[in-house]
Amino acid sequence: MSADTVEPLSKVDSAVDSTEPASPSDAKARHRRTSSTVSGVYNINDLEKEGKELSIAPETQRLNWKLNTSPATLDEKDVLKKHLCEPPVKRIDLHFPLGLEVTARNLKGVTIKDALDAIYKQFKKKADDELGENPVLAGFEWDKEESWTRLVVHQKKEGQASSGGGKKSKKNKDEA
């Protein structure tokens, strides 16, 4: 290479001889591993750009799962394997009304178990009396007007049977 030939600049490390790769893995093509990507599983941001709507698995409303107990203690183990939403996504933020936000991730599609595990990780060290007046998961809500990329977590009082409407059961404070 002479001084008067113009070539586009490339990243150069003076400590490495450019004729041989530094290690055998450097000689391979540089691209992301494709084995961890599964067809049919989307990035939530791509779904937002395409305008594809999410539908949440209705089973989450019937779990009666206490936030500080392990998801492994649930009776319905087969429900945990289901995708949290359709179409399946690689990651999704779960937003609590008081501001806490956790992220559930799974490259093969976020399952109900992945979501419960992410929530449990935040609440496992809390005592029952620290969970507030609504310590049980009531379900998730996707509000595309508020945020396309996250689900709102709804909670309810312990042992409360899921009602037909289901989502706005928090307003039952006239029990005194």
Distance in angstroms between the alpha carbons of the first and the last residue of the chain: 87
Q: What angle do CA 84, 88, 94 make, to 5 degrees?
A: 45
CA distances from 76 to 18, 20, 70, 116, 124 (A): 58, 56, 13, 13, 20
Confidence at residue 40, expressed as pLDDT on a 0 to 100 scale: 86
SS3 134: coil
Please state, in angstroms and rounded to a whole number, the distance separating the CA atoms of residues 95 and 141: 10
Please state, in angstroms and rounded to a whole number, the distance separating the CA atoms of residues 93 and 28: 35
For the chain, what percent of residues have pLDDT higher than 70?
A: 69
Residues of the chain short of pLDDT 50, as ranges, are 160, 162-176
User: Cβ(140)–Cβ(84) under 8 Å?
Assistant: yes
Confidence at residue 39, expressed as pLDDT on a 0 to 100 scale: 82
Please state, in angstroms and rounded to a whole number, the distance separating the CA atoms of residues 153 and 101: 9
Token pair belonging to 173? 């404070």
Residues present in the chain in total: 176
Q: Domain ranges for the chain, please list them.
A: 57-164
Look at residues 89, 133, 125, 130 and name the one whose alpha carbon lies nearest to residue 110: 89
Confidence at residue 80, expressed as pLDDT on a 0 to 100 scale: 94
Contacts of 96 (CB under 8 A, 6+ apart): 152, 153, 155
Token pair belonging to 75? 């009776």
Confidence at residue 175, expressed as pLDDT on a 0 to 100 scale: 41
Confidence at residue 158, expressed as pLDDT on a 0 to 100 scale: 74
Contacts of 117 (CB under 8 A, 6+ apart): 71, 104
Confidence at residue 23, expressed as pLDDT on a 0 to 100 scale: 53
Question: How many C-beta neighbours within 10 Å does residue 92 have?
Answer: 25
Token pair belonging to 167? 């989502």
Confidence at residue 128, expressed as pLDDT on a 0 to 100 scale: 84
